[in-house]
Amino acid sequence: AGRKRQRYVEKDGKCNVQHGNVRETYRYLTDIFTTLVDLKWRFSLLIFILAYALTWLFFGLIWWVIAYSRGDLEHLGDHSWTPCVNNLNGFVSAFLFSIETETTIGYGHRVITEKCPEGIVLLLLQAILGSMVNAFMVGCMFVKISQPNKRAETLVFSSHAVVSLRDDRLCLMFRVGDLRDSHIVEASIRAKLIQSKQTQEGEFIPLDQTDLSVGFETGDDRLFLVSPLIISHEIDERSPFWDVSRGQLERDDFEIVVILEGMVEAT
């Protein structure tokens, strides 16, 4: 009982698995949305800031190039000259105009004129691209904030599982409860036995997964989790523990992973 065992899944639900020698890293970029959501908060915030800052800088540079190529910067103060953007006198003002355009602030000091067709096209492109950046980044932040990691901390499992008689049948039992008043809708529970095994042909299968029945046939795996419930696995002929003695149970290396799924009614 005092042996130190390396867990497959930690008590907080994190899988103790590290992926090494991954060569096809481009697959992460094909699903960039999920990749950004899975990043740590500090990297997500950094990408969030860079996405907006680089977009503003990029379009600010283009606005400055348009003003420079048209000669607007050479006619500052010339009221007879119609520039592409009024009151744009350098890169800093072009950068500020880019921010005002993409964020639709519209201070009214710098404004595009109708004598600049290339500026009108650029204005449309920046408005469309800015909406796409907003939708993508705000969507990432919303999904990351609404992840169930913190909600799972208010789900409490019993510290120990017990094997005992229940209605004259030997059962493996543990308890689960929800601390919050907001209920989990359509909650279901599953249990997996993680254990290495060797087949009859001599093949060694590390971390083999076997289902433990917790009421799938009778529908008892669908929980109405209002008050703490006792989850029971009957050790019968179909159970992987049927031929396991008490002494073997203490010696064997295995792990039981319990998975509780559902939807929070509040969100």
**Domains (range + CATH), the chain:** 25-146 (1.10.287.70), 151-264 (2.60.40.1400)
Backbone angles phi, psi at 187, to 5 degrees: -70, 135
Cα 2 from Cα 104, distance rounded (Å): 64
Q: What is the dihedral of CA 142, 28, 7, 196, to 10 degrees?
A: 140
First to last CA, the chain: 41
* Mean pLDDT (the chain, rounded): 88
DSSP 74: G
Cα 176 from Cα 237, distance rounded (Å): 26
What residues contact residue 107 under an 8 Å CB cut-off, 6+ apart?
Answer: 100
Quick one: pLDDT band at residue 217, thresholds 50, 70, 90?
confident
pLDDT at 233: 94
Averaged pLDDT, 76-86: 89
Cα 243 from Cα 197, distance rounded (Å): 15
Say if residues 43 and 76 touch (Cβ distance below 8 Å).
no
CA angle 167, 168, 173 (to 5 degrees): 65
Quick one: pLDDT band at residue 147, thresholds 50, 70, 90?
confident
Say if residues 263 and 184 touch (Cβ distance below 8 Å).
yes
Averaged pLDDT, 76-83: 88
Averaged pLDDT, 52-65: 96
pLDDT in tens, 87-139: 899 999 999 999 999 998 888 888 999 989 999 999 999 999 999 999 999 99
Q: Per-residue pLDDT for 3 more than 70?
A: no
pLDDT at 4: 66
pLDDT in tens, 241-253: 998 888 888 888 8
Give the total residue count for the chain.
267
pLDDT at 2: 55
**Bridge partner residues of 85 (DSSP):** 112
Q: In the 3-class helix/strand/coil scheme, how is 78-119 assigned residue by residue?
A: CCCCCCCECCCCCHHHHHHHHHHHHCCCCCCCCCECCCCHHH
Backbone angles phi, psi at 112, to 5 degrees: -75, 150
Letter string b/e over residues 50-87, b meaning 16 or more CB atoms within 10 A of that residue's CB: ebbeebbbebbebbbebbeebebbeeeeeeeeebbbee
Q: Per-residue pLDDT for 240 more than 70?
A: yes
What residues contact residue 38 under an 8 Å CB cut-off, 6+ apart?
Answer: none
Q: Label residue 77 left, alpha or beta by phi (over 0 means left) and psi (-120 to 50 means alpha).
A: left
pLDDT in tens, 9-55: 887 777 877 777 777 777 777 888 888 888 889 999 999 999 999 99
Cα 146 from Cα 138, distance rounded (Å): 12
% of the chain surpassing 90 pLDDT: 48
Say if residues 228 and 150 touch (Cβ distance below 8 Å).
no
pLDDT at 68: 93
